[in-house]
Amino acid sequence: MTEKLTISFTVNGMEEKREVPPHQTLLKFIREELKLTGTKEGCEVGECGACMVLLDNIPVNSCLVLAAELDGKELVTIEGLAKNGELDRVQKAFIDHAAFQCGYCTPGMIISARALLERNPNPTDEDISAALSGNLCRCGAYQEIRQAIKACSK
């Protein structure tokens, strides 16, 4: 039996210390241990983007990261975007532009969109495509997603 590892990290601004099995993915840890169920599982192999989170401010597929790797790092999930009961501007723009239907890809999509806007406040269509092509939306809300992101541009 493999022994659990102790990890210390912050999640959505809160410091945490937990024990994790060495083979547990960050995705499973977020959903099952932290109970932050906004992060979704869609493929488990980094191809759909539904499990996107920010790790030290960088968007990563949490299904391709081990929970053990979280040690000493900062994690932000979709639950961490709204501040003081106020939605983030990307979240608001997604509502205004009807940039989702079933909503299952939406948390990951918003995480990617927000990371893009952080590093590039005025993205072109091409920039948006490059940054979000790893987030699949089967409802096909891509055009509205593009518009929502552009509405957040400076």
Partner 1 sequence: MPAFTYQKCSDLSQAMKWLAEDKDTFLLAGGTDLLVGIRGGKFKARQVADIKDIEELKILKEDQKGITIGAGVTLNEIAQFEPVQKNVPILAEGCNSIGTYSVRNRATLVGNICNASPAADTAAPLYCLGAIVKIAGPGGERQVGIEDFFTGPGQSALKAGELVTAILIPKPYPQGKGVYKKASRTRSVDLATVGVAVQRWGQEVRIALGAVAPTPVRASSVEKAINEENVTDAAQAASLVEKDISPISDLRGSREYRYHISKVLVRRGLEETEEVCS
Partner 2 sequence: MPTFTNIGKAFPRIEAEEKVTGSAEYIEDRCMGPMLYAKIKKSAIPHGRIKRIDTSRAEALPGVRAVVTGKDCAKNRVGLYLVDRTFFAVDKVRFFGEPLAAVAATSVEIAQKAVDLIEVEYEELPAVFNPLEAMKPEAPLIHEDLGDYEVVPIFYPVAGTNISNHSKIRKGDVDKGFAEADVIIERDYYIPQMQHVTIETHKAAALWGFDGKLTVWSTAQSPFTVRQLLGKCLDMPLHKIRVVSSYIGGGFGGKAGATMEGLVIPLAQRCPGYIVRIVFTREEDLQCTFTRQAMYAHLKTGVRKDGRITALEYKMIWDGGAYTEYGVNITRAAAYSSAAAYDIPNLKTDSYCVYTNNPVGGPVRGFGMCEMQWGIERQMDEIARKLDMDPLELRLLNGLKEGSTTATGQRIEDSSFMNCLRTAAEAVEWGKRDTGKYRGKGLAGLVKAPAQPSNASSSAIVRINEDGTVHLSVSATEMGQGMLTAMCQIAAEALNIPAEKFSTRVPDTDYTPYEWQTVGSRTTYACGHAVTAAAKDALRQIKELGTIALGVPVEEVELEDDTVFWTKDREKQVPLAVLANSYMKPTGEGIHGPIIGRGSFIPSNMTNLDPETGQGNPGMFWTFGASAVELEVDPETGEITILQLATALDAGKAINPQQCKIQVHGGTVMGLGTALYEEVQLKDGRILNPNFTDYKIPTIENTPYMKGFVLETPDKGGPYGARGIGEQPMIAVGPAIANALADALGIEMNTFPMTPERVLKAIQEKEKNS
Site residues (vs partner 2, CB under 8 A): 31, 35-45, 47-48, 50, 77-79, 81-82, 87, 91-92, 94-96, 98, 100-107, 110, 128-130, 132-146
- Name residue, tokens 């940039």: 99
Residue 3 interface partner, choices partner 1, partner 2, none, CB cut-off 5-8 Å depending on type: partner 1
CB 54 within 8 A of CB 16: no
Name the one range near partner 1 by CB under 8 A: 32-40, 62-70, 80-88, 95-103: 62-70
Q: What type of residue is 73?
A: K
**133 near partner 1 (CB under 8 A):** yes
Sequence-ordered list of residues with C-beta below 8 angstroms from that of 58, at least 6 positions apart, any chain: 115
Planar angle of CA 112, 71, 108, nearest 5 degrees: 15
Contact characters 7-46, partner 1, x per CB under 8 A: --------------xxxxx--x---------------xxx
Number of chain positions touching partner 1 (CB under 8 A): 33
Backbone angles phi, psi at 78, to 5 degrees: -55, -30
Residue 114 interface partner, choices partner 1, partner 2, none, CB cut-off 5-8 Å depending on type: none
CB 123 within 8 A of CB 132: no
Six token digits for residue 60: 């990563």
Sequence-ordered list of residues with C-beta below 8 angstroms from that of 69, at least 6 positions apart, any chain: 26
Residue 146 interface partner, choices partner 2, partner 1, none, CB cut-off 5-8 Å depending on type: partner 2
Length of the chain measured in residues: 154
Residues of the shown chain interacting with partner 1 in the complex, contacts defined by CB under 8 A: 2-3, 5, 21-25, 28, 44-47, 49, 52, 58-61, 63-66, 68-69, 71, 112, 129-134
